[in-house]
Chains A and B, each alone.
Chain A
Amino acid sequence: AQTVTQSQPEMSVQEAETVTLSCTYDTSESNYYLFWYKQPPSRQMILVIRQEAYKQQNATENRFSVNFQKAAKSFSLKISDSQLGDTAMYFCAFMKQQTSYDKVIFGPGTSLSVIP
């Protein structure tokens, strides 16, 4: 069974600085997707970035980028130039496509606080 681990329950970063959130996963699959979701205090789940396992190039979305290490089963999220609006819970997620539905396994989350 797949598992997703986020070893940092809480983190903080100064505004305008860079922070990296860690995520590791365990799977025997070779084809899968990885996601980072953001959940601000509004509770809405927002997709931040996604990575296809077959792609070697790390995904980037504006100030958000990932370091995908497939052999190490690691998928960290880097936030550059942190902003107050980045304060949120961040969830790493693993998804394997199945014939009937998309099975998504979420990590326990990392609470990020951006300090002015």
Chain B
Amino acid sequence: IAGITQAPTSQILAAGRRMTLRCTQDMRHNAMYWYRQDLGLGLRLIHYSNTAGTTGKGEVPDGYSVSRANTDDFPLTLASAVPSQTSVYFCASSVVQGVINEQFFGPGTRLTVL
């Protein structure tokens, strides 16, 4: 693989169910991010990780959790999904120590919570 992959591509989920969105990058970037995209709001940061073993909260972290066991993987978990979490979710990565730290994005996961 080259870049960032996300799985699943789309998912319909019943409210109250647990769901994990997967994200894997092969660029050895130290920082990874999860965003949600909602119409009229752009992309908002949910959680981030600047290196394996550490995570931090972004702008809209409530209802979500993340882990960073290694450099490549950064899963996002919804412990008990609610309809307001219906959104398109993007994973991204960057090299924080770079000169211009462009963020590279995965293809996104469309999640519908009913």
Interchain CB contact under 8 A, A101 and B42: no
Majority-rule SS of A interface residues: strand
| Size of interface on B: residues with Cβ below 8 Å to A | 26
Interchain CB contact under 8 A, B56 and A101: yes
Please give me the residue from chain A that is nearest to B97 by CB atom.
Answer: A97
- Please report the C-alpha to C-alpha distance between residue A100 and residue B40 in the assembled complex, in whole angstroms: 28
Interchain CB contact under 8 A, B100 and A50: yes
From the candidates B101, B108, B110, name the one contacting A95 in the complex (CB within 8 A). B101
Selecting from B14-22, B69-77, B78-86, B88-96, the interface stretch reads B88-96
Q: How far is the CB of A59 from chain B (nearest CB, A)?
A: 11
A interface residue count range (under 10 / 10 to 19 / 20 to 34 / 35 or more): 20 to 34
Interchain CB contact under 8 A, A43 and B43: no
Interface members, chain A 81-107 (any B CB < 8 Å): 91, 95, 97, 100-104, 106-107
- Among A43, A44, A95, chain B packs the most CB atoms within 10 A around the CB of A43
- Please report the C-alpha to C-alpha distance between residue A100 and residue B103 in the assembled complex, in whole angstroms: 14
Interchain CB contact under 8 A, A91 and B94: no
A: residues with CB less than 8 A from B are: 4, 9, 33, 35, 42-45, 47, 50, 52, 91, 95, 97, 100-104, 106-109
B: residues with CB less than 8 A from A are: 31, 33, 35, 40-45, 48-50, 56, 88, 90, 92, 94, 96, 100-103, 105, 107-108, 110
